[in-house]
Amino acid sequence: MLDGKKTLFSGMQATGNLTLGNYLGALNNWLTLNEEYECFYCVVDLHSITIRQDPAELRKRARALLTLYIAAGLDPVKNCIYYQSHVSGHAELSWILNCFTYMGELNRMTQFKDKAAKHSDNINAGLFTYPVLMAADILLFQSDVVPVGADQKQHLEIARDIAERFNGIYGNVFTIPEPYIGKVGAKIMSLQEPSKKMSKSDENVNASIYLMDDPDTVIRKFKRAVTDSDNQIIYTDDKPGIKNLIDIYSLTTNKTVEEVVKEFDGKGYGDFKMAVGETVASILKPIQDRVADLNKDKAYVDGIIKDNAEKANYYATKTLRKVQKKVGFPEKIR
Ligand code: TRP
């Protein structure tokens, strides 16, 4: 809770390209949340360096992500879209919270185990304390709700545990965050393995539609989408490929599943895939045009970045001062 308004916080990694799944399942549902919540969307570059990064690449991807969020319709004045590295409170609170987190708790984190196995040449302490930094992100803004996917549930749990532990010692310092359960976001599946979620880190580029894919690529990927062989457009779990395409078409045309099934009654997969491809391409086009415009207007985007960093800093400092006082740091002499 900040200034009487509930707070929503989300952090995103600038790795890989945002997909249609990210858009239809998350981003597109967030566009009006600012009416109800004070919303923070943080590009978590401090988290990114737990895996070795190429510096120029990281900077480029972080900017691209931030730009894409604005282009996709998140109003950057009503939503605080900013870089984590521009708000030093994240790192400062993270240090303090490290001292209230147990090795045993962190040892249980499945993402740490996965990443440590995957990057066995670089199992650094930052990778281990990644969840503490994430807790700091959330608690710094007294966040009430955090939209998280299944893979981040455990991290939100530990953030709650740390907050409760801290509050237990020092009184009510932190808001205890809850997972954000909004309108059930659509779960968009891989175009190549429809039993798997569409993921920006999928190695097969044909499995995902990236928001920056040009129309030809979009249409080609839909044409190649894995379906079954019976050529009937029916919505059933037995036909996960077609079910996924119906979901995508339904969401992008605002038609119900029944309407879609009726529209394509008697038609074949070829026609249907073409229609889905063309519709998705037409949804992505204005977003891509807006990205191009924003890329041309460096001063405007820079202004947004500066203003939002200031806004985030203002709130972060408030929480941080309170915490520093609680743990016994002397007040600064002004
Ligand atoms: N760990 C999250 C992910 O990989 C990103 C993240 C960092 C985050 N800080 C956060 C998500 C705070 C929600 C809230 O997706």
CA geometry: angle 87, 91, 92, nearest 5 deg: 100
Pocket probe for ligand 1: among 13, 106, 153, 160, the residue whose CB has the most ligand atoms within 8 Å is 13
Catalytic one of 113, 118, 187, 197: 197
Long-range contacts of 268-271 (CB under 8 A, 24+ apart): 268/231, 269/227, 269/231, 269/233, 269/242, 270/223
Domain with CATH 3.40.50.620 in the chain: 6-181+298-327
Q: What letter represents residue 259's amino acid?
A: E
What separation in Å is there between the alpha carbon of 123 and the centre of ligand 1? 19
Instruction: Work out which ligand 1 atom sits closest to the CA atom of 9.
Output: 14
Q: What is the pLDDT of residue 149?
A: 81
Q: Which two three-digit tokens encode residue 80? A: 């605080």
Verify whether ligand 1 is closer than 6 Å to residue 146 (CB atom): yes
Full pLDDT tens readout for the chain, 334 residues:
887 899 999 999 997 789 999 999 888 989 999 999 999 999 999 999 999 999 999 999 999 999 999 999 999 999 999 999 999 999 999 999 999 999 999 999 999 999 999 999 999 999 999 999 999 999 999 999 999 888 899 999 999 999 999 999 999 999 999 999 766 567 899 999 999 999 988 999 999 999 999 999 999 999 999 999 888 999 999 999 999 999 999 999 999 999 999 999 999 999 999 999 999 999 999 999 999 999 999 999 999 999 999 999 999 999 999 999 999 999 989 8
Instruction: Work out which ligand 1 atom sits closest to the CA atom of 47.
Output: 7
- Length, in residues, of the chain: 334
Q: What is the pLDDT of residue 135?
A: 98
Element (H, E) at 198: none
Domain with CATH 1.10.240.10 in the chain: 205-293
Q: What is the pLDDT of residue 25?
A: 86
Q: What is the pLDDT of residue 200?
A: 87
Instruction: Answer yes or no: 153 catalytic.
Output: no
Verify whether ligand 1 is closer than 6 Å to residue 10 (CB atom): yes
What separation in Å is there between the alpha carbon of 303 and the centre of ligand 1? 25
Element (H, E) at 30: helix 28-30
Q: What is the pLDDT of residue 125?
A: 97
Instruction: Answer yes or no: 200 catalytic.
Output: yes
Verify whether ligand 1 is closer than 6 Å to residue 132 (CB atom): no
Top CATH class of 205-293 equals: mainly alpha
Verify whether ligand 1 is closer than 6 Å to residue 47 (CB atom): yes
Q: Rounded to the nearest 10 degrees, how much is the dihedral formed by the CA atoms of 37, 86, 151, 159?
A: -70
The dihedral region occupied by 320, where left means phi > 0, alpha psi between -120 and 50, and beta the remainder, is alpha
Nearest partner of 82 among 330, 302, 325, 249, judged by Cα = 302
Specify the CATH architecture of the domain 6-181+298-327: 3-Layer(aba) Sandwich (3.40)
Element (H, E) at 129: helix 125-140
What separation in Å is there between the alpha carbon of 265 and the centre of ligand 1? 42
> What's the rounded Cα separation, in Å, for the pair 93 and 111?
22
Report the chain's terminal Cα–Cα distance, integer Å: 28
Pocket probe for ligand 1: among 8, 9, 12, 46, the residue whose CB has the most ligand atoms within 8 Å is 12
Q: Residue whose CA is closest, atom 8 of ligand 1?
A: 11
Q: What is the pLDDT of residue 230?
A: 87
Q: What is the pLDDT of residue 334?
A: 84
Q: What is the pLDDT of residue 185?
A: 63
